[in-house]
Structure 1
Amino acid sequence: MTSISMPNIWVLGDGQLGAMMKHAGQPLGLNITPVDIMTPSDARLPLGANDLITAEREQWPESSLSLQLSQHPHFINGGVFTRLADRYSQKSLLDDIQVATAPWRLVDSNVSNAELFQQLGERVLLKRRTGGYDGKGQHWLNASNNSAIPNDWRELSIAEQAIAFDEEVSLVGARDANGQCHFYPLMLNLHQDGILMATLAPLARLKPLQAKAQAMLSRIMNSLDYVGVMAMECFRLGDDLLVNELAPRVHNSGHWTQMGCHINQFELHLRALANLAIPELSIKCQVAMVNLIGVEYDPRWLSLANTELYWYGKEVRPGRKVGHLNINATDPERLSETLKTLKLWLPSQYQAPLTWLDDNK
C-alpha cells in the first residue's frame, strides 16, 4: 500500500488558537507547529518547500520568524490577513461586494465632528483601523456633549454609525480549495465591555437567518479566494443582518464546536488547508460556551458532568482570556442547574452572562 504524505502546517503565532489547532491536527495525522513570533529570535525555521503556513491572528510584529513564515509561497490567504486586519480596507471590501455593514467613513484629517454627526447620527463609534480587539481601540462621540475627534485618531480610524441592534450573532464557515463552502449554525453571542462572554448554539429561532448569513459569508470568502475557516460577526436587526467584523481565522465564538460538532472549527480549518475531505458538518448537541476571563483556575469546574474545560495555561491577568467552558445545553433543566452552580463559583461580572444563557436556552 502506498503511504500518504501529509503536509507540515506552521502556525504564525502560538497562543491558545494555535494550541487548539495543534491538538485538532493530531487525530488527522497532521504535524502542526505553532511558532512564537512575539519573542525576538534570529533562528530560522526548517520550512519545507511543500509546507503550509496559516496564522492564528490578523497582525503580527515584524521579525525574522514572522517574515520567514509570511513570505513562504504556501502562506495560505497571505494577502487576506493584512486586508481584513485594517478596518478601512475591510469595510471597503464589504461595500465593494455589496454585503451590508454599518454606515461608516474614514476619519481623515479634514472631517469635522459636525460632518460625522450629520452623516452617521448623534452617536458615532470611532474604531482604530488596526490593533483594536476585545473592546480596545474604540472611542465614542456623542452630539449631545459635542465630543470631539481626538487628534491622534485622524487617519488612523474609521467612524461607524451606532447600531441599535436586537442581538449579536456570528457565523463560522470554511471554504475549501475547490471553492465549496461549509457552515456551522448561526451562534448567539453576548459581549460585555467589548469582550465575548458567552455563546449559545445552535438556536432554533436563528434558523430563518441561516441562508442569508451563509450567502453573505460565501460572497466574502469567494471574493477573496479564501481557503480555511472565517468568522463573520453580525448585528441582527429584525430579519436583517449587518456585518460588524470579519476574522480570517478560527474564532472565539466557534469554540462551542469542540463539544457540539463531530468536526470542530480547528479541524475544519486544517482539513480545508490540507485539502482533506470535508463531509457534512453534523451537530451533536446544543452548547453554551462561557469564556473564562481574568479568573483563576478552579478545579471544581471539573466536577460538572455536562461540562468540558479548556484551560489555556496562560498567566492570569484582568481582561485576559485564560480558558473557556463548553456546557451541553441539550437538557434545559440540567443546563440551568449548571449555570446556577457557576454563579456561585465565578465572580460578579458573570452573573448577567450566565442569566442570559439561561434565558435564551
Structure 2
Amino acid sequence: MSTIWVLGSGQLGAMLKQAATPLGLDVRPIDIESNDILPLSPNDVVTAEREEWPLTKATEQLATHPNFVNLSTFPQLADRLTQKQWLDKLDLATAPWFSIEQDSNSKHCYQTLGERVLLKRRRGGYDGKGQFWLKESENTQIPEEWKGLAIAEQAINFDEEVSLVGVRGKNGASYFYPLTLNLHINGILYASIAPLERLTHLQSKAEAMLSKLMDALDYVGVMAMECFRLGDDLLINELAPRVHNSGHWTQAGASISQFENHIRAVAGLPLTKADVKNTSMMVNLIGVPVNYNWLSTEGLELYWYKKSVRSGRKVGHINMCSGDISKLSTALTELDAQLPEPYQEAIEWLKNNLPN
C-alpha cells in the first residue's frame, strides 16, 4: 500500500495515523510550516486535517500531488461565502444570510436579517473566533476592516446544536454515524453525546442533506455537518471537509472510528456501516493541564494531544462509552470534582441528556 500523507500534523493528523496503524497503513502527518523536501511517490495519496494552509515547500509538494483527495473541495468550503453559495445552490437550509461588501451598512443588516445579526469572517475563525455580533439595540456598526471579508447571518433561536458525521467512498457509497448532540460554551465545543433515541426521527433527513452535498462535490472521505435544530427542522450552520471534533466519540463508541473511516475512504479500501456500541460521551479538554488521576474513573479513555496548555486551546479529550447509564453518571460526577469552571455546566448538561 502506498504512503498516505496528511497535510497538517495537529491532533487530527495524529489520530488519523493512530487509526491507520492496525490496518498496516503508512500515514505521515506533515507540519504545515515544514520546508522539507518530501519523498513523495506517484502512487502515494494525500489528504488533509485542515481546510487551509500556508505556502511552504512541503505544502506546495502535497497540494500539487495528483492524488490529493478532495483538493478542489477545500477552497470551496473553507470560504464561508462559497460554502453558503453551494448550500443555496443545492437548496439545503441555512440561516438567512448575505455577503458583507465594501458598501454594506448595519441598517441594511437589521432591516434584512433582524435585530441581531452575526458576522462571520469568510476565512479562518473557529471555536468562537472570527465572529462579531451586530445588535440593533446597541446600534452596533460593521467594523470597517470586516467589509468585503465577511458574511452576515440572521441570529437563530435554535433548540439544540447537532452534527452529522458521514463518510463517502470513491464508488459513491455513503455511511453515517448517529446524530450527535453538542454543547458549545463561548463558541467552543465542550461536550457531545450520541446516540440519542429522541433524535432518530431526524436521522434520515440529516443523511439526505449531507449526502446531497457530498454527491454534488464528488467528495471522498469523512465530512461533518453542524446544524441547528428547530423543532423537527435542521438548518446547516457549518461544514467541515475532514474529520471533526464532534465525531471523536466514535473512537470509543463505534466499531470503526471516523478516523479509520476517512483513511479507508481515501485509500480506496472497503467501507461498511459502523456498529455503534452504546451511549457515548465526549468531553473536550480546553486549557487545562493533564491530570492522570482522570484515569482512575472506570471506562474513561483519555486522548492527550501533547500541546502546551493555554487558555481556550484544545489540548485533549475524554471519551466514555457504556450501556450502563448509572456508570456514565458516576463517571461524570467524578470528573466534575476534577475539572475547573466552566466544566460544571458541561457535566450537568451531559447528565441531563443521558438516556433514562
Asked if Structure 1 and Structure 2 have the same fold, meaning a TM-score greater than 0.5 normalized by the shorter chain, the answer is yes
1:17 maps to 12
Cα deviation, residue 330, structure 1: 2.3
1:117 maps to 110
In 1: Cα distance, 2:346 partner to 2:60 partner: 40
Given residue 163 of structure 1, which amino acid in structure 2 is its aligned partner?
Answer: I
Cα deviation, residue 343, structure 1: 1.0
Cα deviation, residue 235, structure 1: 0.2
Q: In the TM superposition, what are the counterparts of 1:221-300 in structure 2 within 5 Å?
A: 221-300=214-293
Query: Quick check: 2:298–2:331 contact (8 Å CA) kept in 1?
Result: no
Given residue 67 of structure 1, which amino acid in structure 2 is its aligned partner?
Answer: E
In 1: Cα distance, 2:90 partner to 2:225 partner: 15
Cα deviation, residue 329, structure 1: 4.2
In 1: Cα distance, 2:171 partner to 2:245 partner: 26
In 2: Cα distance, 1:50 partner to 1:250 partner: 23
Backbone CA RMSD of aligned residues: 0.7
SS of match in other structure, 1:355: helix
Cα deviation, residue 280, structure 1: 2.0
Query: Quick check: 2:158–2:229 contact (8 Å CA) kept in 1?
Result: yes
Given residue 22 of structure 1, which amino acid in structure 2 is its aligned partner?
Answer: K
Query: Quick check: 1:259–1:285 contact (8 Å CA) kept in 2?
Result: no
1:302 maps to 295
In 1: Cα distance, 2:47 partner to 2:95 partner: 29
**Structure 1 residue 35 corresponds to structure 2 residue 30:** yes
Q: Which runs of 5+ in 1 are unaligned?
A: 1-5
Aligned with residue 60 of structure 1, among 53, 78, 81: 53
Q: In the TM superposition, what are the counterparts of 1:73-88 in structure 2 within 5 Å?
A: 73-88=66-81
Q: Give CA deviations for 1:213-254 in whole Å, capped at 9, x if unaligned.
A: 000000010010000000000000000000000000000000
1:3 maps to none
Aligned with residue 43 of structure 2, among 26, 39, 50: 50
In 2: Cα distance, 1:329 partner to 1:199 partner: 14
In 2: Cα distance, 1:113 partner to 1:102 partner: 18
**Structure 1 residue 358 corresponds to structure 2 residue 346:** no
SS of match in other structure, 1:189: strand
Aligned with residue 199 of structure 2, among 188, 202, 206: 206
184-193 or 60-69, larger mean C-alpha shift: 60-69
Query: Quick check: 1:288–1:329 contact (8 Å CA) kept in 2?
Result: no
Identity of aligned residues (%): 58
**Structure 1 residue 135 corresponds to structure 2 residue 94:** no
Given residue 194 of structure 1, which amino acid in structure 2 is its aligned partner?
Answer: G
Aligned with residue 126 of structure 1, among 119, 122, 128: 119
Q: Give CA deviations for 1:141-194 in whole Å, capped at 9, x if unaligned.
A: 011111100000000000000000000000000110001111000000000000
Q: Which runs of 5+ in 2 are unaligned?
A: none
Q: Give CA deviations for 1:279-311 in whole Å, capped at 9, x if unaligned.
A: 221111211100000000101111111110011
**Structure 1 residue 180 corresponds to structure 2 residue 170:** no
**Aligned residues, how many?**
354
1:107 maps to 100
In 2: Cα distance, 1:95 partner to 1:302 partner: 46
SS of match in other structure, 1:46: coil
In 1: Cα distance, 2:278 partner to 2:303 partner: 18
